[in-house]
Structure 1
Amino acid sequence: MNTRRPPDRRPVAEVMTTDLLTVTADETVLMAWELMCRAHVHHLPVVDGDGHCLGVVDAATLTSTWEPTSPLRARRAVTTLLPRRGPMCVRPEATLAQAAAAMLSAERDNVTVIGEHGDLIGLVTARDLIAALAGAPGHDRPRGSCMPSMYRMEPVLPERQRDTVPHSTVSPD
């Protein structure tokens, strides 16, 4: 007897990613890009100091708004890339069908999963839904809490190249 639930009735808690790389609202677009590239992720939740999700920056939005000729634009706050409407949220007990409906309603490819107090506890992407539908085995994901990024990385030029590069009037921060 097969006791497995159909994919559309499974709770999002079974497929959500909980080991998330997040950034705080004051991080720059450049930092978000760097973190996404280094971590090989396509979605980067932006959280406030209390762990509440303000929105999710995705790689498509970041690359479509990138302006390589404007250093000031690369150093603007990552919150400038967030959709005007806040993130679409579901609870961990919501079904995959409900998560898919939320994504369609919001016209996004992700939905955040929030805990009892509105704190970010996970993320479900369209890829997660497709994997669940295909019956792909889930990889073990830690069930820990989401923490804002712990490191601040800034791209810098090596010492010997600093003197040969024209000086900019843009401040580092």
Structure 2
Amino acid sequence: MEERPAVRSLMDAAPYSINEDESVLIAWEVMERSEQRHLPVVRQNGCCAGLLERAELAVVCAGPASELSRRRVCELVHERRTATVQPEDSVARAAAVMTTEHLDALPVTDRHGRLVGLLTARAYVAFAAGMPGRTKPPAEGPARSALSGLPPHRARDHGIVIP
């Protein structure tokens, strides 16, 4: 009997995340520099508060610039139910949750609700297609937050680096 792989084998074990008290402007910068399309939002205690999607954040960032630094990430995920999976859950269960909830990504949490990774539809599709591993190797330790360790922003057309 073939054993089903666990979420742990496909998840990004060190996604960039953002604290729920950060500004929407910082969230956009993290998303731009990390090149992630989904940004987990965490509370002070490390528990997952939700997940921001790039398109959703882009709409919010189209608002007046003066409001972006005052608007907090928690406003975008507050009052929204967040589906999560745990590292030991089967990949099939995660795919069922993503399908039922119409999601492209799922935060992966430990049994206490603390963020430990991110599973994306892209990783699942690569797995289903038999493509090798993750796009990034897993890192030890908790998910990265805010701007820690982010690469410099690179202008896409000119190779310009903005520190």
Give the TM-score, by structure 2 length: 0.80
Distance (whole Å) between structure 2 residues aligned to residue 79 and residue 120 of structure 1? 16
Residue 69 in 1 paired to residue 64 in 2? yes
Counterpart pick for 1:141 among 122, 138, 142: 138
Partner of 2:77: 82
- Aligned amino acid, residue 87 of structure 2: P
Q: Which residue of 2 aligns with 1:113?
A: 108
1:20 matched to 2:12 = no
Q: Could you tell me the percent identity over the aligned residues? A: 35
Counterpart secondary structure, 2:82? coil
**Conserved? CA contact 1:51–1:146, under 8 Å:** no
Which structure 2 residues correspond to residues 31-70 of structure 1 after superposition, within 5 A?
A: 31-70=26-65
Corresponding position of 2:153: none
Question: Between Structure 1 and Structure 2, whose CA radius of gyration is higher?
Answer: 1
Q: Which residue of 2 aligns with 1:95?
A: 90
Q: In the alignment, residue 80 of structure 1 is paired with which amino acid?
A: E
Q: Deviations over 1:92-135 (max 9, x none)?
A: 11111110111122222111111132211111011111111011
SS at match of 1:90: coil
Which of the residues 124, 133, 147 maps onto 1:129? 124
Tell me which amino acid in the other structure corresponds to 2:142. S
Q: Distance in 1 between matches of 2:46 and 2:20?
A: 11
Unaligned runs of 5+ in 1: 152-173
CA distance in structure 2 between the partners assigned to 1:83 and 1:4 by the alignment? 41
CA–CA separation in structure 1 for the residues paired with 2:138 and 2:66: 37
Letter in 2 for 1:71: S
Q: Which amino acid aligns with 2:52?
A: V
Give the AA of the match of 1:65: V
Distance between the aligned counterparts of 2:78 and 2:6, measured in 1?
26
Q: CA deviation at 1:149?
A: 2.5
Number of equivalent positions:
146
- Tell me if the contact between 1:66 and 1:74 (Cα under 8 Å) persists in the aligned partners: no
Q: TM-score, normalised on structure 1?
A: 0.75
Residue equivalent to 2:5: 10
Moved over 6 A (4+): none
Structure 2 unaligned segments of length 5 or more: list them.
Answer: 149-163
